[in-house]
């Protein structure tokens, strides 16, 4: 039986399968996540493990297939060591700003050890408008892993400013005020 969809349990499962994390204040249905910015090691071993873990985590809450773009900034700029997580976050924030699903460039063939059929994921190979149903928000996940075994996973949700037309940025530079 599938569990009630909450992002807290999704993240707890991804980051620590034995469930020691207490993220119970967050509640997002994984079906509402449209993009995963994966760590994407580019290796025969690392990428299949990451995709399998993400698939298992999503599957605990949904059987829906092929709804979430899967990409990694490394196909654009290579491995950045300690800056890998922040570069993925910047890519995700720019995707939200421009409401575009960025392509995974230089993608030709899926790693033979990765199975995407029957999972929530697909590889986005072209820049696409990032559409969501009216009243819903764009949501994405960044997954990053450090050499020391440190794992970081964040969920980013767009801010909808109801004062503006939905095709404009949530805030213009003129409207920004210092705290």
In this structure, CATH architecture of domain 30-166: 3-Layer(aba) Sandwich (3.40)
Name the residue among 20, 26, 18 with its Cα closest to residue 157: 26
pLDDT-derived band at 172, boundaries 50, 70, 90: low
What is the reported pLDDT for 5?
43
The pLDDT value recorded for residue 44 is 75
> What pLDDT does 20 receive?
37
Dihedral Cα 72, 131, 4, 140, nearest 10 deg: 30
Domain ranges of the chain: 30-166
pLDDT of residue 126: 92
**Highest mean pLDDT (candidates 17-26, 34-43, 104-113, 134-143):** 134-143
pLDDT of residue 80: 75
pTM: predicted TM-score of the whole model, two decimal places: 0.74
Q: Mind listing the pLDDT tens digit for each residue in 88-122?
A: 899 999 999 999 999 988 888 888 888 889 999 99
Across the chain, where does the E strand assignment appear? Answer: 35-37, 68-71, 100-101, 121-123, 128-129, 139-145, 151-157
Distances from the Cα of 51 to the Cα of 105, 119, 120, 129, angstroms: 18, 9, 10, 24
Share of the chain above pLDDT 90, in %: 26
Token duo for residue 96:
């939200």
The residues facing 122 across adjacent strands are 69
pLDDT top residue among 5 and 126: 126
Out of 42-56, 95-109, 119-133, least confident range = 42-56
From the list 156, 147, 175, 157, the residue with the least C-alpha distance to 82 is 147
Going from the C-alpha of 53 to that of each of 14, 57, 78, 115, the distances in angstroms are 6, 6, 23, 12
Q: What is the tally of helices (H) and strands (E) in the chain? A: 4, 7
What value does the mean pLDDT take over residues 33-40?
A: 88
Please report the pLDDT score of residue 175 as a whole number: 52
Question: Are 157 and 167 within 8 A, CB to CB?
Answer: no
Residue environment code for 20-31, b if the CB has 16+ CB neighbours within 10 A, otherwise e: eeebeeeebebb
Task: Kindly tell me if the per-residue pLDDT of 42 is higher than 80.
Answer: no
Whether 48 and 13 have beta carbons less than 8 Å apart is answered as no
């Amino acid at each position: 039986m599938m569990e009630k969809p909450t992002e807290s349990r999704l993240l707890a499962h991804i980051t620590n399968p034995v469930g020691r994390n207490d993220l119970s204040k967050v509640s997002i249905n994984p079906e509402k996540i449209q993009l995963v910015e994966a760590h994407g090691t580019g290796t025969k071993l690392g990428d299949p493990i990451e995709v399998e873990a993400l698939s298992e985590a999503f599957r605990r809450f949904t059987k829906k297939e092929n709804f979430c773009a899967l990409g990694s900034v490394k196909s654009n700029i290579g491995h950045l060591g300690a800056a890998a997580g922040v570069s993925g976050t910047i890519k995700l924030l720019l995707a939200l700003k421009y409401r575009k699903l960025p392509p995974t460039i230089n993608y030709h063939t899926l790693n033979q050890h990765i199975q995407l059929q029957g999972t929530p994921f697909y590889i986005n190979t072209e820049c696409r408008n990032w559409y969501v149903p009216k009243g819903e928000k764009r949501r994405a996940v960044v997954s990053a892993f450090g050499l020391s075994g440190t794992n970081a996973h964040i969920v980013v949700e767009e801010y909808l400013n109801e004062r503006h037309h939905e095709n404009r940025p949530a805030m213009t530079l003129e409207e920004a005020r210092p705290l």
